[in-house]
Structure 1
């Protein structure tokens, strides 16, 4: 990367920080804790300052704060917390001693600071956001109960600039500032989380129950001490700690939910317990279990339209899903504080997500495409897919902090593993037939109109059964340390920090495929081939008529009676197996200096990546398997600078310039390949282990004003200039693929860029008459615009511009809440505009597939029966918003899927 012209201010700040490590005549320390006066709960994110020295820091997650190396004397200690009164006290610092203080903060005009409920959740988040050096958005654990979110992904859709990608209506992947999930990084307790998915880096956060977390922090700008592998944002999940609370804490909830589409009742249980022993040892145990039976109805074309003089539909498929998902999450955490200068912790996580899915499908393909309302002859395929997938994530994180005389040392070692296992499953059992006089109505939600025999199981004959099994494993081990020193340059506070991190990651994928066909040659004939031998009841399908379902049991009976050795698909069972080793060595140096109200933070991070891939390809022309192993190294220097100017305690201006990277996904790097020959045409498909990492230069500006009580109004702008954008294309006929008719792979493209604006407004209304003081409003909107270029070969290199895939121009959230001592209500909405899913035809934008705009409304009502017992009612997807994707224009279906509403009723006990 070319960065020399931009480095001079960084070098100046680093030089200043380095010069500041000159020994000074410091002699004492101040240590303290800040709590809510009434509840005695610790307050995180409070601004603590020493007036005479212009030193300021924030209290950590357990309310503690540390001022090292303070010259002996008397000072004024000031504490400020949104929603609380400003606190001042005089403290005396002795030579070679530690001054201890405990701040009891009361509410500003209120009985006490509200540290629970909607007010408490917002107060916690906004205080931490205000105190941060970089641009962050924070969601506290208390906020989760204010929304009907069952996993971390769904909880994060409430954060400014964030939206989610759903699977079967449930939140799964996170998009930050409209950018695809693979462009964002996810860590838990400081350790990068591996992905159970075999082909990607993005972590499906529906694997993690929301009940296990303490907070989620989304950093939209990166400082040098953070991993650099993020374009949209870095998501840090923090699990529960006993020291987050002041005393024994118990939280138990039980819930039943009703699924409108299937009429199923589903149970959920969650519990957490934490306690502190002798003020030095803390234990937290949390568990969550949720078992959900539900379904969805789907109709899709996959973009198979022909757009000439008229619009002709070529393929349509109806799908009926029956789904069971079971989630189990367990976390056991330990904290040990042997003395006032040392903290140790052990964080553990076990999460299991079992997904059972049965899909009955009905696909029709017209000989020639037909217009709406026009009949034609179709080839019809009735199909069954039935599989169970278990995804697990396990994590161990051990670390600590030691506060020495002049330095603070943080250290951590972690190990995490994610697995995804699909035991032998029916990947496809297909029955085929042919019919005349079939038409469709409604190009957005195609409804098939067919003769009665179309729905008769005896009209269909078994053609093929595909059996599959697969497993994927992603293991990450890392070790890191950080050293920090605080001090003064003349009268200017400073800090210098440096550290290193080593991460070893291994991604493995294994797949086996069996294809059963030519059944008559294996003694299967007559009625055994008719679908009547496998059919069950009529499918419960709300988008038209689907016909009789196909049962899994008789399919398995047939498969188990046949010789599997004759059905092995050796090619597909080999080329999709791979191992990818990725080792990352990182080091950084950074420093900040406070010049009156301005803080300048600057530094540089270095990351060296060592990549090895192991896989196998198949060349049909040579009828042989070929090992394809690669090895390469690359490195990045990533400087950044952040400026933070406080017009007052409540008004903050931020500006930053920095660099980040995103490494290719594992499917893009996969070394397997397939070369096929058909009528003298050579076709190939393969991954590309030689891909460069995406590089981004990022500019951010923002201003935040924190209002009385709990409130903020903020505005920000960002611009990202991206190099080595990765996209899929056909290289057939070009360069070393000149003899290929098709060579489908991934390559680095031209530059891309994204520009955006973020606005947010949060306000409690404590200034209104008493009856209205419980109102709380939150709202945010992000506008962004991206531009990327893709290219293809057609009488020379041709190109066109597209938006970045999965990037919405508008993301918005809003909620209106009310709470008092007896009840709490919250109505919320999450919106994202349409975004590009897939480029079907490189040279024709009419075939680009977009997901349509989506708005989801949710509602929560709570009644406080006692100080410890709460009942609640939650409504999810109140307007029955479907998923809709279209081809080129919004009236041409690519996919339509509906899920229905979900109602949850529960009871919760929390000791106070």
Structure 2
């Protein structure tokens, strides 16, 4: 579908004038309003997500993070004000509203005992209760997790905390959670924000944000919006994940929390330290009382661990004569990951009607990896149990990668009678830096080895001759050095106007505004290839691996043999002139600069019709894209610049019908998009004889029409049962294909690029249940059960050109990263001094990669995974807690396969990790 052209500035101007004219032509509104705060009686903690309602007018609002609420535009009179918070009897009182005055009405929940309050607002049940209050009161479909809940399980980073929510699952790297999937849609189809500010990706070619960069200790909550309202960016198909950092107004008065932890990984036999400190307080400045809040935190975690791997990469030959293995790799990883972060946030109440904030988050993630590999290539494929001749090479990769994320936002909210104006300016930056390193030192066996065989097609175990283990069997053949850097920066400005009023005695609201986002991303790669050592002064003896050998790694999946010493390799190359080995082609073809500007405007309205709340709106986004890359035709380089522009309209309707105080139905129709990845858009064109590979900066964005219906019933403290069904109709699905043989690429044997498919779809059902078993007699009333499951299905159409048939063909495929079934089961128990929780996370197999668009048998799938984690905590005193955590209790491996589960693409194991820590907290 060709993008349509519109003049965005004229649209925004006309929209704003029309809305203002409609508002000023209406009736005058009264100025009376009610404000207050909801807190817990004993702890003083503010409570978010509570419904506050004027019964006679059917006017309602929701308490914010600091427990505060405001009801505006209330005509003078006497009313019944009610406050509803899960697990507590609804509070009501009579209030008198006067014109042009603000009535202050604060509430405190009053459980029968302090122990009952603990259950409601703290611990496992209280943490879940907070999240459910946010979910219940939201106008759209959301799932949430609080900082307290994150601390109840051994989740190291943001992505691992999110895997516990309904409809969410994660993709892991070396056993650690990294990317998040929402409702069966992969990480690149979801948006990530920090305090509402878009977060750019530190990865060079992706939009997906690797959430293992951000420590979970610096968060206050995580909120996942699965349906979008018109005032939200439309840039997600699965969902939008908002990371909310600390605020001093999240608690009452001085707060601090200190964590000291040590963890042990059995595979690497290493111990890793962790320290974290967060604190906040409120101050009185000027004539205000507790009107300035300052919150900050630091976190540091230095983890040493490893993994053992055996993989074929799908190197199987499936034919009528049987299945033969063509290539195989053994890999041993030693990894050090240092994850640090800091947050510093200021909140200032300038007056009763104006609040300002400045929020900052910084994260730094350094991943040091030493990878040793043995590479086997059979001259002819061999079957299991049979012997063959194989060329063998040993390889070393030793690199350090640092990713950084920084987000700063200044904004506020001002009220003027029935108007609310929200404003924000923000800057977000991310980067990835790989200093110059040995990206591949290859030592090849002088002669092919005979009698090489293997057993087990799932976890291949090799049998090799004695010469395989001898260091003098190998000579240094090639060393590649590399360095790279990626920078991604986004600036944004946002302005929103909200007016509350009545339509025929029905509470209503009109909201409109605009947003401007400018994003710049660049990628720079440098490659040096050292080879032909005999022509550069190396003797035959100097090339023998015995001069570069290191101790054999502790590899658990078979015989591995000697390692390779990085320092020895670097020393051998020190006397060479690196400029002689600089690779112009490899150092240029991945470089790019892109700029993307999105200008948006929206209008939306809300009306409460007794038990029904309706929200309807439309959003408009104009996207301008410019890119600079390189064309290389085998002989020379030339710059290649491509621009693109498109615009989109996103209508939406949300409905929430309340059957009772604790039961509600939801339904929505929304529209959204996902812009192509930068790897797909980069205008780099490389021609190698009759083969070409290139990006496609003229790709259309993926567009989705989304339908959601659901039922929610809340059952006291931490209790909910919910059922949701969803369907997504996706246009312009993006995939990799081969255009060789088509009119434009008729002279090529291969022309690999990215294209828009016709359509794709995702459908599914999402179930959730949790309950504190407080109806049982003590001590059994301390048990908590929580479970969720998502059943989904997807289908995409992949087209390709068959040069032999001179015709376009197609086949159906799953969407990448979509598991048919994901689920969580958590069993917990807590008392006033002790807490334990066992959590299982499951996801079924999913499509990892389409290796060949013409051959479904070459598709790579990741097998089903179940991870079991345990956490136990004991209060030494009211504010001092010791905890023990165990991760991956069943030592679940990562397994990918091709053409059925029997045939390995990759098998990797990580071992168990144990944590022992101490937490000191003051509320």
Q: TM-score range by the shorter chain?
A: over 0.9
| Counterpart Cα distance in 2 of 1:125 and 1:99 | 29
- Which position in structure 2 is the counterpart of 1:631? 643
Partners of 2:873 and 2:881 within 8 A in 1: yes
Local SS of the residue matching 1:737: coil
Measured after TM superposition, the shift of residue 249 of structure 1 is 0.1
Matches of 1:269 and 1:740, distance apart in 2: 57
Inter-partner Cα distance in structure 1 for 2:20 and 2:796: 40
Other-structure match for 1:132: 138
Residue 127 (structure 2) aligns with: 121
Is residue 188 of structure 1 aligned with residue 194 of structure 2?
yes
Query: In 2, distance between residues paired with 1:644 and 1:746?
Result: 40
Aligned twin of 2:582: 568
Give the deviation of 1:2 after TM superposition.
Answer: 12
Determine helix, strand or coil for the equivalent of 1:826. strand
DSSP-derived class of the 2:93 partner: strand
Within 5 Å, give how 1:803-842 maps onto structure 2.
803-842=814-853
Aligned match of 1:6 = none
| 2:279 aligned with 1:273 | yes
- Supply the distance in 1 between the matched residues of 2:131 and 2:332 (Cα, whole angstroms): 42
Q: What is the Cα deviation at residue 19 of structure 1?
A: 7.1
Tell me the distance in 1 between the aligned counterparts of 2:625 and 2:165.
Answer: 35
Alignment of 1:744 with 2:752, yes or no, is yes
Which one of 239, 244, 252 corresponds to residue 245 of structure 2? 239
- Which 5+ residue runs of structure 2 have no aligned equivalent? 4-14, 285-289
Equivalent residues of 1:17, 1:593 under 8 A apart: no
Output one character per residue of 1:752-789: Cα deviation in whole Å (capped at 9) or x when no partner: 11110001001111111021111111100000011111
Q: CA deviation at 1:21?
A: 7.3
Alpha-carbon distance between aligned partners in 2 of 1:420 and 1:644, rounded to the nearest angstrom: 43
Structure 1: how far apart are the matches of 2:358 and 2:724? 37
**1-structure distance, mates of 2:864, 2:499:** 49
Instruction: State the match for 2:424 in structure 1.
Output: 412
Measured in 2, the distance between the counterparts of 1:64 and 1:904 equals 38
How far residue 843 of structure 1 moved from its aligned partner, in angstroms, is: 2.2
CA contact (8 A) 1:505 1:582 kept: yes
1:580 aligns with 2:615: no
Structure 2 equivalent of residue 732 of structure 1: 740
Q: Aligned with 1:448: secondary structure?
A: strand
Residue by residue over 1:890-910, the C-alpha shift from the partner in whole angstroms, topping out at 9 and shown as x without a partner, is 010000000000000001001
Aligned partners of 1:112 and 1:538: how far apart in 2? Answer: 57
TM-score, normalisation: structure 2 = 0.96
Q: Is the 8 A contact 1:18 1:496 kept in 2?
A: no
Question: Quick check: 1:21–1:487 contact (8 Å CA) kept in 2?
Answer: no
- Aligned residues between the structures: 898
Contact 1:17 1:494 in 2 (8 A): no
Give distance in 1, aligned partners of 2:267 and 2:686.
42
Alignment-derived partner of residue 707 in structure 1:
715
CA shift for structure 1 position 526:
2.0
5 Å-filtered alignment, 1:600-639, equals: 600-620=614-634, 623-639=635-651
Taking the aligned partners of 1:58 and 1:106, their CA distance within structure 2 comes to 19
Question: What's the CA shift for 1:846?
Answer: 1.6
2:6 corresponds to: none
Residue 442 of structure 2 is aligned to residue 437 of structure 1: no
Shift of 1:16: 14
Residue 423 of structure 1 corresponds to which residue in structure 2? 435
TM-score normalized by the length of structure 1: 0.97
Whether 1:330 and 2:342 are equivalent positions in the alignment is yes
What's the CA shift for 1:841?
2.4
Counterpart CA distance in 2 for 1:224 and 1:763 is 34
SS at match of 1:891: coil
Q: CA deviation at 1:108?
A: 7.0
Give me the whole-angstrom Cα distance separating, in 1, the residues matched to 2:855 and 2:453: 27
Distance in structure 2 (CA, Å) of the matches to 1:695 and 1:277: 48
Per-residue deviation, 1:879: 0.3
Pairing 1:519–2:525 present: no
Q: Report the equivalent of 2:117.
A: 112
Deviation per residue, 1:558-584 (Å, 9 max, x gap): 222111111011011111110010000
Listed as ranges, the matches of 1:882-893 within 5 Å are 882-893=893-904
Mean alpha-carbon deviation: is it higher for 22-31 or for 571-580?
22-31
Given that residues 663 and 713 in structure 2 are in contact (C-alpha distance below 8 angstroms), is that contact kept between their aligned partners in structure 1? yes
- Secondary structure at 1:453 match in 2: helix
* Counterpart position of 2:567: 553
Aligned positions of 1:415-814 closer than 5 A: 415-433=427-445, 434-620=448-634, 623-677=635-689, 682-794=690-802, 795=805, 796-814=807-825
1:80 aligned residue: 84
Instruction: Report the equivalent of 2:369.
Output: 357
**How far 1:840 moved relative to its partner?**
1.9
CA distance in 1, matches of 2:54, 2:853: 61
The alpha-carbon distance between structure 1 residues 344 and 676, as it changes in their structure 2 partners (threshold 3 A), is: same
Partners of 1:574 and 1:108 in 2: CA distance: 70
Distance 2:541 2:451 in 1: 26
Counterpart of 1:69?
A: 73
Whole-angstrom distance in 2 between the partners of 1:16 and 1:624: 58
The residue number in structure 1 matching 2:882 is: 871
Q: Say whether residues 1:151 and 2:162 are aligned partners.
A: no
1:455-482 CA-to-partner distances (Å, cap 9, x unmatched) read 1110001110000000000001100011
Contact between 2:84 and 2:90, CA under 8 Å: does it hold in 1? yes
CA distance, structure 2, for counterparts of residue 538 and residue 639 of structure 1:
61
User: For the residues of structure 2 that align with 1:909 and 1:15, how far apart are their CA atoms?
Assistant: 53
In structure 2, distance between residues paired with 1:669 and 1:476: 18
Deviations 1:310-350 (A, max 9, x none): 00000000000000000110001111112111111111111
Deviations 1:26-83 (A, max 9, x none): 1311110011111111000000000111001110000000011211111111000001
Task: Give the drift of 1:20.
Answer: 10
Q: Per-residue deviation at 1:24?
A: 3.2
Query: What's the CA shift string for 1:379-399, capped at 9, x where partnerless?
Result: 101000000011111111111
2:62 equivalent to 1:58: yes
2:10 maps to none
Rounded Cα–Cα distance in structure 2 between residues aligned with 1:263 and 1:825: 26
Q: Distance in 1 between matches of 2:21 and 2:52?
A: 22
Q: Partners of 1:476 and 1:521 in 2: how far apart?
A: 49
CA distance in 2, matches of 1:179, 1:94: 51
Contact map agreement 1:252 1:908 (CA 8 A) in 2 = yes
For 1:8, the equivalent position in structure 2 comes to none
What is the Cα deviation at residue 212 of structure 1?
A: 0.6
Select which of 286, 290, 298 maps to 1:287: 298
Query: Is contact 2:521-2:595 (8 Å) kept?
Result: yes
**Alpha-carbon deviations, 1:87-143, whole Å to 9, x = none?**
011111122111011101123787436311111111100001000010000011110
CA contact (8 A) 2:797 2:811 kept: yes
1:426-477, CA deviations, whole angstroms, 9 ceiling, x for partnerless residues?
1100011121110111100111100111111100011100000000000011
Q: Structure 1 residue 25: deviation in Å?
A: 4.3
Give the conservation status (yes or no) of the 8 Å contact 1:149–1:155: yes
Partner residue in 1 for 2:11: none
SS of 2:269 mapped into structure 1:
coil
Between stretches 270-279 and 103-112, larger displacement belongs to 103-112
Match of 1:41 among 20, 38, 45: 45
Distance apart, 1:748 and its partner CA: 0.4
Q: Is the 8 A contact 1:791 1:797 kept in 2?
A: yes
* Contact 2:276/2:298 (<8 A) preserved: yes
Gaps of 5+ in 1: 4-10
Asked if the contact 1:17–1:592 (Cα under 8 Å) also holds between the matched residues in 2, the reply is: no
**1:253–1:906: 8 Å Cα contact kept in structure 2?**
yes
